[in-house]
Amino acid sequence: MKENKSILIIMATAVLLFILSGSVLAEEKHYKTGVGYQGMISAEFLNGISARTWIDDNFGLEGNFFCGSVDVDAPGLSFDADLFALEAKAMYAPIVRQNSKFYFGVNLGWEYIDLDENEDIWTMGIFLGSEWNFQGIPELGFNFDIGYRYATYDDDYFEVDLDGIAATFGIHYYF
């Protein structure tokens, strides 16, 4: 259990550093940087915190830390396990309007499932999505993404299958 707490502290520290560096860059380079909530619906529902930066109108980066519970199937046994995930996204918006963007991109991630055997799960995927804000409140950005994620873990005893269509939605407050 002590090892699990160390991993969580490292992940939370990495997300915090990303958020802080993004806000510093936003002040110095006039990037559009925000922090907020991001939820993911994959095989299960995961909640997360998120930092998103638009380097210019067309190119963006996002970092997420998700946590939740997943179903684990083993021979003659089925139970829930805790899941923690870090994800990085690169986005390109070919269509940019005054209050909205349509974008597509790729994501890479690392997941940790709290099982007896501690294994890393690497994920990757492609997605498309949109972000919009209300004319009167441009600092709030609402987003929705849908895409394909590939993430599977299989050993002699446990099988966790999280690949397939995934949808994320969120809200970010931009500095």
Q: Which domains does the chain have, with CATH numbers?
A: 2-174 (2.40.160.20)
pLDDT band at 117 (very low <50, low <70, confident <90, very high): low
> Alpha carbon of 28 to those of 24, 32, 35, 56: distances in Å?
6, 11, 17, 14
Work out the average pLDDT over 58-66: 93
- Backbone angle region of 22, left / alpha / beta, with phi > 0 → left and psi within -120 to 50 → alpha: alpha
Q: What share of the chain in percent tops pLDDT 70?
A: 71
What is the pLDDT, as a whole number, of residue 16?
57
Mean pLDDT to the nearest integer, 91-103? 96
Place of tokens 């699990």: 4
**One-letter amino acid identity for 97?**
R
* Confidence at residue 8, expressed as pLDDT on a 0 to 100 scale: 58
Question: What pTM, to 2 d.p., does this model score?
Answer: 0.77
The predicted structure's pLDDT at residue 155: 65
Residue 32 has pLDDT above 80, yes or no: yes
pLDDT for 82 equals 82
End-to-end CA distance of the chain: 37
Task: Name the nearest CA neighbour of 63 among 94, 92, 86.
Answer: 86
Contacting residues for 99 by C-beta, under 8 A, at least 6 apart? 132, 133, 134, 135, 138
User: Which residue matches tokens 């805790």?
Assistant: 82
Element (H, E) at 65: strand 59-74
